[in-house]
Each structure stands twice: as structure tokens, then as C-alpha cells.
Amino acid sequence: MRWQGRIEAGSKDRQMATMMDLYPTFLDLAGKKLVGQQTIDGVFLKRRLLGEKRREKEARVLYYYHTTQLQAVRRGKWKLILPLEEKLRGWSKKEKDVKLALYDLIGDPGESKDVSAENREVVKMLLNLAEEGREKFGDGKKRGSRWRKAGWVKEAVGLRLEE
């Protein structure tokens, strides 16, 4: 990412960030606030972008959903593909008998080598996180305690950073 005079050239950040983080980050950079009681899934990245030092937190958990189906869980460098009888693909395709698989995304970003057999404790931890995710966000037809309808923008308004 480039922002001359604000982001140090060549700087790196190994913490996970997702597309969900762009909305709250851009609002923050534009000096705007979330609207009312708006709930977001992303986090504010402004301090990280500007290189501010902060204490390290426990690695963030990311739940991979396709529509309402929980398909994988990630924490730090680990991504666990959950076993599924029918994995949803696109809007109408289904993949049969998806097996559990664990990947080290730092050593194997292409997810080519399943390392679940050598990392049973990591698999157990991620399976527990998957259950927590199901309780919070749901899975399939089961709604979780934090389930909500998808948000929609009724009237989009462009925002600009002031020079």
C-alpha cells in the first residue's frame, strides 16, 4: 500500500487483514464515524497502516462462510478446512465429501500440503473455534446468537480525504 508521507516505504505487516476491514478503515481515515448502531465485522487498520506500535493481541479468528455454510476457520498462520458432506460452491454447485485439512499459510500459501496429522492440537483448537463460530454466527439453517440480516446501503455517498 502506498501513501506518500504517511506510510513508510517498504514497511511490512504480517497480521491478517481482510476486505471487511476496508470500510471501517476508510471511514476512520476520512474522519467519519459509523452510522448509528451499525454493526461491522471488520476492524480499524489506521494505526497499523501508519506504523503505530501497539501491544500484540492474540491472533484474530476468521470464519470462512459461503452464504450460510461455515467451511473453514483461520487463526494466525493456520487454516482448517472443515469436513462437509456437501460443500456449497458458487450459487448452485456442490462438492461432495470434503475432508478435514489443515494448512500452514505462511509455509504453504497455496494450500497444497495437508499438515493435520502432524498438528493434532492445532486441529483441536480450530475445531473448538469452529464450534464457537457456529454458536455466534450460525451454520446452515441454524442461526447463531449474533446472527443478523445482511446490511444494505440505501443511498451511497462518496467520501474524500482532505488534502
Q: Are residues 70 and 15 in the same domain?
A: no
The DSSP line for 134-155 is HHHH-BTTBPPTT--PPP--SS
Q: Which pLDDT score, from 0 to 100, does residue 35 have?
A: 76
Q: Which pLDDT score, from 0 to 100, does residue 85 have?
A: 87
**pLDDT single digits (tens) 6-37:** 887 887 777 778 888 888 888 888 888 887 77
Q: Are residues 69 and 45 in the same domain?
A: no
Q: Are residues 89 and 53 in the same domain?
A: no
Q: If you average pLDDT over residues 55-61, what whole number do you get? A: 71
Q: Is the pLDDT of residue 57 over 70?
A: no
Burial of 161 (0-12, 13-18, 19+ CB in 10 A): exposed
Domain annotation covers residue 146: no
Domain annotation covers residue 152: no
Domain annotation covers residue 46: yes
Domain annotation covers residue 154: no
Domain annotation covers residue 144: no
The pTM score is: 0.74
User: pLDDT band for position 117 (50/70/90)?
Assistant: very high
- The count of structural domains within the chain is 2
**From CA 49, how far away is CA 74, in angstroms rounded?**
22
**pLDDT single digits (tens) 63-115:** 998 888 899 999 999 999 999 988 888 777 888 888 999 999 999 999 999 99
